[in-house]
Structure 1
Amino acid sequence: MSLARAARSGGPADALPASAVHAFSRRTLLAASGLALATTLAACGRTSPVSGPSDPSGPLRIGAIPDQDPEVLQRLYGIVADALSGALDLDVSYAPVTDYAAAVSLFRTGDLDLVWFGGLTGVQARLQTAGAVPIAQRDIDADFHSVFVVNAATGLTPSDDLALLAGRRFTYGSETSTSGRLMPAFFLREQGVDPDGFPGGPGFSGSHDATLALVASGTYEAGVLNEQVWTSRTAEGAVDPAVVRYARTPAYSDYHWLLGPSAVDRLGEDLPDRLTDWFTGLSADDPGDAEVLELFGAGSFIPTEAANYDQIEEIGRDLGLIN
């Protein structure tokens, strides 16, 4: 089994080579010991003393919004940290976070340097962090989509008519997810559906995988998640037959890497260019690069800039998700 397949499967740790598990375990233990404290302090607007941004010898600290199963994310970003460390000759550590808001807070305080954000959380983090720089996005992020799903018991069949979802028990993903809340809410409203008007109010599952599970169980009759997760889980045979793909949204820009200014201060002014060059230079023809690209479900990474997320900022402000 390749590392990419092991990462996506969320299977047991022994699916990875022992050397990879050992190296990643050291990083995770070190990172996790600080992140529990860092998350609490970040919520209070304070910086963690553990490998904080004032430490000039500290590693490049990478993180990601927790949009999928935590075990999948730990393996994915552990492998990315190893690849990035070897390619750029940097000490790179991955630190998991508990929720989307924590990722934004820890980026703002400098406890995380380079974070894989969704479109909305990336805008939030950039607006709160002067000097933050978008580094790269995947080829698929320039043309990203969400999919609405329903429980088969509803009797609904695939359609472009989102109005038929009104009156159904409905769940989004995280409250600040671009593909699991922001853009679906926008498209629902465009078709005359109140995005907050579902019976009992909409649910918030917390992640795309959790949305699938809740719709499969019938806890919610319908929900929405990002298309990449839907495609990946479908290919793995991991989608319960009770879940039916109902509709696909129009395209929008989404996920991207965002670099904080404290990392540039510590590791050099050329760091943004080095990172962009590495990500955009990944080639599917190289086995090591192909491993990283497969982990991200991408054919390549491409350069990006803040202007690509202007639509997300506008919609976020309109929906009250950006002040």
Structure 2
Amino acid sequence: MKRFKQQVILWGSIVSLLAACASQEPTPKPAGEVDGVDAAPLAIGAIPDQDPEKIQRLSEKLTAYLESELNVPVQYQPVTDYAAAVTAFKVGDLDLVWFGGLTGVQARLQVTGAQAIAQRDIDEQFTSVFITNANSGVQPFEEVSGLTALKGHTLTFGSESSTSGRLMPQYFMQQAGVALEEVKGEVGFSGNHDATIKLVEAGTFEVGALNSQVWDSRLTEGSVDEAKVQVIWRTPPYYDYHWVASPAVEERYGTGFTKKLQGALTRLDTSVPEEKEILDLFGAVKFIPTENQNYAQIEKIGRQIGKIK
């Protein structure tokens, strides 16, 4: 009986020891955490300035790349228009957005601590083009003063908040002394650069203004009928498209995450086939770092034209 009691005590001690050891093991991470931080998806988006099918292909490839580089879930959220992208960033529905120059400034001014972190190599010296229908009678010119030829002709911009498809073209028109009231009828807003090309090509509008990179890309693809539409002027350069990151990512994923985002974007390499495809879809050779102050001119012009209050 004495030996039986000793065995019971011994087994009780072993069970207690095992229970104590178990209580010291790491607590499993709750669902939704990666490396100890909240892994709510990094929500990314982009202004819908091109063909929706192309934007969809780009978003799928970029999402996969960022997930592998950052080790957090990434989710692409499409938006209906430029203003919706700004609003989604403002209210926190989007953490990282590919903005144009104007929308990037508009978004940052509404979110304290937001940062412009990366732009394409071509965005330091970006340009717009004015195109015309072949039947318009408007001929190519070399100087900004040539924009006076737009008087009395129908004109369409892209989106109302597009930097390259509205803001800068309107600014250069003002430089030439051409008011919007001097074009024929109401100014159109096509919604995106591809639509602007098609509207001018079809003769719906005689003149259009758009992103030069999209124009050059469509020429290379052979999707523009050059017998029906031509470039009449290419603007001087300005800063344009860029990625803007919300300060919320630092709170969610830890201090320094903004730098990680910037690093992931600027590491995209054309020598890696999958990464080259992403860069090609962006019309870029690489992404480079940028900062808020690079868009001071855009902010100034935006205020002059009334797009920034």
TM-score for the superposition, normalised by structure 1:
0.81
Alignment of 1:75-90 (within 5 A): 75-90=57-72
Cα distance in 1 for partners of 2:257, 2:180 equals: 41
Q: Percent of pairs identical after alignment?
A: 54
Question: What is the one-letter code of the residue matched to 2:218?
Answer: R
**Distance in 2 between the 1:258 and 1:271 partners?**
13
Q: Does 1:187 align with 2:172?
A: yes
Q: Name the residue aligned to 1:128.
A: 110
Match of 1:117 in 2: 99
Kindly tell me the number of residue pairs found equivalent between the two proteins: 269
Secondary structure class of the residue paired with 1:96: coil
Q: Is the 8 A contact 2:39 2:72 kept in 1?
A: no
Alignment of 1:178-217 (within 5 A): 178-217=163-202
* Secondary structure of the structure 1 residue equivalent to 2:180: coil
Which residue does 1:39 correspond to in 2? Answer: none
Which whole-Å CA distance do the structure 1 matches of 2:70 and 2:38 have between them? 17
Q: Is the 8 A contact 2:39 2:73 kept in 1?
A: no
Q: Which amino acid aligns with 1:303?
A: P
User: Counterpart in 1 of 2:215?
Assistant: 230
CA distance in 2, matches of 1:283, 1:68: 23
Alignment of 1:130-209 (within 5 A): 130-160=112-142, 161-209=146-194
Any residues of structure 2 matched to 1:100-115 within 5 Å, and which?
A: 100-115=82-97
Q: Confirm or deny that 1:267 pairs with 2:249.
A: no
* Deviation, structure 1 residue 196: 4.6
The alpha-carbon deviation at position 56 of structure 1 amounts to 4.3
The Cα of 1:270 is off from its aligned counterpart by: 1.4
Q: 2:42 aligns with which of 49, 54, 60?
A: 60
Q: Deviations over 1:79-129 (max 9, x none)?
A: 111111112212111111000000000000000010000000000000011
- Report the Cα distance in structure 2 between the residues aligned to 1:196 and 1:260, rounded to whole angstroms: 38
Aligned to 2:28: none
2:299 — aligned with what?
A: 313
* Alpha-carbon distance between aligned partners in 2 of 1:113 and 1:229, rounded to the nearest angstrom: 26
SS of the residue aligned with 1:220? coil
RMSD between superposed Cα atoms in Å = 1.3
> Which SS does the other structure have where 1:154 is aligned?
coil
Q: How does 1:245-284 map to 2 (within 5 A)?
A: 245-284=231-270
User: Residues of 1 paired with 2:258 and 2:38: CA distance?
Assistant: 17
Quote the Cα distance in structure 2 between the aligned partners of 1:231 and 1:163. Answer: 24
Moved more, 287-296 or 223-232: 287-296
Distance 1:146 1:304 in 2: 20
CA shift for structure 1 position 182: 0.3
Query: Does 1:99 pair with 2:81?
Result: yes
| Unaligned stretches of 5+ residues in structure 2 | 1-36
Which whole-Å deviations, capped at 9, do the CAs of 1:48-106 have from their partners, x for residues lacking one?
xxxxxxx9431001000000111111111111111111122121111110000000000
Shift of 1:167: 1.2
Letter of the structure 2 residue corresponding to residue 113 of structure 1: D
1:242-289 CA-to-partner distances (Å, cap 9, x unmatched) read: 111111000000000000122221112211111111112222222232
Partner of 2:277: 291
In the alignment, the residues of structure 1 paired with residue 271 and residue 261 of structure 2 have an alpha-carbon distance, to the nearest angstrom, of 20
Partners of 1:274 and 1:56 lie apart in 2 by 16
| Greater alpha carbon shift after TM alignment, 62-71 vs 290-299 | 290-299
Moved more, 153-162 or 127-136: 153-162
> Structure 1: which amino acid aligns with 2:126?
F
Deviations 1:119-175 (A, max 9, x none): 000000000111111110001000000000000011323213111111110000000
Greater mean deviation of Cα atoms: 119-128 or 208-217:
208-217
Which residues of structure 1 form unaligned runs of 5+? 1-54
SS state at 2:56 partner: helix
Q: Output the amino acid matched with 1:94.
A: Y
